[in-house]
Amino acid sequence: MKRYIFSVVCLTSLAFPAIASAIDDHEHFVQGCREVLGIYANRDKQRLLAGLTTSPTEALRAGYCIGAISEYQRERECFTNDWYEQAQRISEMSEYAKNGASVEEILETSCEI
């Protein structure tokens, strides 16, 4: 019985961080786009040591940003097809994200600028 209760408590506690991170998903998205800019110091050339100096968290956030932008551009028409340029615009939208804009709204706004 104790094992059962312990298992339920452990599984329940694992759910809370996921819920907390989903709440501020838009802020993680903007932060991920900032990570992209940090990893790619030069537009077409990755920094030599980027793979060694980038943490797994930074890499995941950057990948989330690039993937979301690429998918958005595939589904909708945008002012540019360059994900890096759009990531630059999104990284400048932290105030917009803090005001509660969704990832979809951030993508839409960055596409219209």
pLDDT at 9: 43
Over its C-alpha atoms, the chain yields an Rg (Å, rounded) of 17
Surface-to-core class of residue 108, CB atoms within 10 Å of its CB (0-12 exposed, 13-18 middle, 19+ buried):
middle
Bridge partners of 42, per DSSP, are: 45
**Mean pLDDT taken over the chain:** 75
- How many Å apart are CA 39 and CA 62, to the nearest integer? 8
DSSP 6: H
For the chain, the structural domain boundaries read 24-112
Contact 113, 79 (CB under 8 A): yes
Tokens for 77?
Answer: 């028409």
Between vectors from CA 85 to CA 31 and to CA 38, what angle results, nearest 5°? 40
* Digit-coded pLDDT (tens) for 63-97: 999 999 999 999 998 888 899 999 999 999 888 77
Entry pTM: 0.69
pLDDT at 8 over 50: no
